[in-house]
Structure 1
Amino acid sequence: MSDKPETMSILKRLTLLSIYSLVLVIGVIGLALMIHILQSNMRSVITIAMLNLTLAHFLFLLTVPFRIYYYAAGYWMLGEMLCKGVSAMIHVHMYMAFVFYVVILVIRLLGFHSKKDRYEFYRKLHAFGASVAVWTVMFMVIPPILYYNYGKDVHDNTTNNKTNTMSNNYSHCFQFGNHLKKHIVAKVLNYIMSSVIIIVACVLTALQCHVMVLLTRKYGRDCMSHQEFWAQLKSLCFALVLLVCFVPYHVFRMYYLGHLELENINEVFLSLTAFSCFDMLTFLGRGHCYMCNRARTV
């Protein structure tokens, strides 16, 4: 029985190490595939949202090697400030990605129902200003909250194993669950944010599925040869990423807020949000016109 906590700790480390290693490799490949978007219309709202989404993925991927180091080594020796920075970034990434997913999906839905091809900023400067405003608000809200509140009651833990001649000091990171026990406001805020994300993700996915049904009925078997169908199909992929990567974490988090002893499981669910970096692979299907032309010749 005494080995069970140690076994669970190893299982957790191996799970998170595998997840973040996969995210880093696939994420870097996805970033390389997204470079071609820089050649698109820089005034399009959707293009700007995708560029900002790519930037969010890029900034998050910069912190992933630190997580891999921590779960591979089993301890953190890089300082409390860097720990909080890396910890904050996965939350910044999740909320920024959520915002840009919502923007992309809402614009596509509005375009479908209004029969408008695209929504654009009047000038590139306006697009730049909007992007800066969103990032400024996000970095003014989330990192300070995490830095000044989370982890204040968390100190480095010293583990003394009497059965082993070696005694080591293990500095732990990403374990700020104790904060929620003493701050009711933080717990309520978590309930609200999780509820909003779950509801919005489910509603947008349902609406996007409805659009796909309408397009399938409209074009029939010839639907795959239409630009509109493929554009909405990519939106459906974004909606599914939103649903699959974010909703499970927030559903479990609402349960976790009442059972804080499940912090390790919550950390695994949080790592699943990193799979949203795979959304960039949806642009592998951008050459659909070529595929459609081949289908017609056959």
Structure 2
Amino acid sequence: MELTNVTTLSNASNTDLSRCDRHCRMILISLYSVVLLGGAAGAIAMSYLMLKRNSQSIVATIVLNIIVLHSILLFSLPFRLSYYVLVVWEFGSFTCRLVSSIIYGHMYFTFVFYVAIIISRLLMYFKKPQTQFQKYHVVVLSIIIWMVGSVIFLPIFFLQYGTNPSYSEQQCFEFHKDLKHEGFIILNYSMIVIMMTTVVTLFLIQMWVIVQLIKALWPDMWTHQEYRAQIKSFFFLLIIVVCFIPHHAFRIHFIQHYSETENSELVLYNEIFVALTTACCLDMLCFVGGVIH
């Protein structure tokens, strides 16, 4: 009798996961493997360089926060890889919720720190008095970001995220079913509007600044530190556009058309777009490799 129940549960798990078929799992395994290896190498190498140079700059302090965020995400990726390789979750429901939530927490915290770098560079260009930051100002800002983010994130995680009793302990990353709740729909739309508005605004300002610098410094703009600093900021905007915006753009379609019975294939695409957000962990390889030194 016990063997029959286990077999039935296992078959049910495989059936539910069939919406992410072998081809889907290979895409996710490949992407997460690249991010895990490349992200770990970049974080270790960048940490070594920062310790060696003992940089006290504002950007270096923010980058340190980003490395911490990347490290937390990278520690969670082996759990995801195990699930897609074995096609069964073996670590319990709480760990599933934790691993699933880390990827979203990482995305939004990283986004905030990217924006902090971009805004600090823009303020320096406009030569506002407020740009005379000391390192302790950035440390205080970092602490505030972590505290405010935790106050918002932790209650959602412990009280609402993935707490529906219908979720199976042998499945994971199926929490899109929570989108049936109005509160989660409002939260998702709010995050989409905030991110899209922020990115468009910063992109337009950043492009205007770069164009003005090109006009003023042509043809020797690459010899000027001010121009190179703005190009570095544009690099962070590109990371946001490539890694984060596709997920949020698709999220609008997903929320509007998702149905467990009719549009389950959307879950497959949603998982791939979620996985794409982790590719931002490769940013430190770009630093170390000299793409944005």
Q: TM-score, normalised by structure 1?
A: 0.82
Residue equivalent to 1:208? 206
Do the aligned residues in 2 keep the contact of 1:249 with 1:273 (CA within 8 Å)? yes
Residues 143-163 of structure 1 deviation map (CA, whole Å, 9 limit, x = unaligned): 331332122225455xxxxxx
Greater RCO, 1 or 2 (C-alpha within 8 Å, sep 6+): 2
Residues 272-295 of structure 1 deviation map (CA, whole Å, 9 limit, x = unaligned): 11111122233233897xxxxxxx
User: d(CA) in 2 for partners of 1:8 and 1:59?
Assistant: 26
Post-superposition offset of 1:8: 4.9
Distance of aligned partners of 1:145 and 1:115 in 2 relative to their CA distance in 1, 3 Å threshold: closer
Residue equivalent to 1:285? 290
User: d(CA) in 2 for partners of 1:204 and 1:233?
Assistant: 13
Residues 192-237 of structure 1 deviation map (CA, whole Å, 9 limit, x = unaligned): 1111101211221222222222222222121122222221111111
Residue equivalent to 1:249? 247
Aligned identity (percent) is: 35
Aligned residues between the structures: 269
Residue equivalent to 2:6? none
Distance of aligned partners of 1:254 and 1:119 in 2 relative to their CA distance in 1, 3 Å threshold: farther
User: d(CA) in 2 for partners of 1:180 and 1:8?
Assistant: 19
Residues 232-285 of structure 1 deviation map (CA, whole Å, 9 limit, x = unaligned): 111111011011111111011011111224222111111111111122233233
Do the aligned residues in 1 keep the contact of 2:123 with 2:131 (CA within 8 Å)? no
Of the three residues 147, 156, 174, the one matched with 1:136 is: 147
Where does the alignment leave 5 or more consecutive residues of structure 2 unmatched?
Answer: 1-14, 260-265
User: d(CA) in 1 for partners of 2:131 and 2:204?
Assistant: 22
Distance of aligned partners of 1:110 and 1:129 in 2 relative to their CA distance in 1, 3 Å threshold: closer
Distance of aligned partners of 1:144 and 1:10 in 2 relative to their CA distance in 1, 3 Å threshold: farther
Cα RMSD, aligned residues only = 2.4
Residues 73-99 of structure 1 deviation map (CA, whole Å, 9 limit, x = unaligned): 111010111111111110110010110
Do the aligned residues in 2 keep the contact of 1:245 with 1:273 (CA within 8 Å)? yes
User: d(CA) in 1 for partners of 2:75 and 2:243?
Assistant: 20
Post-superposition offset of 1:187: 0.3
Q: TM-score, normalised by structure 2?
A: 0.83
Residue equivalent to 2:80? 67
User: d(CA) in 2 for partners of 1:228 and 1:91?
Assistant: 34
2:195 aligned with 1:197: yes
Distance of aligned partners of 1:7 and 1:249 in 2 relative to their CA distance in 1, 3 Å threshold: closer
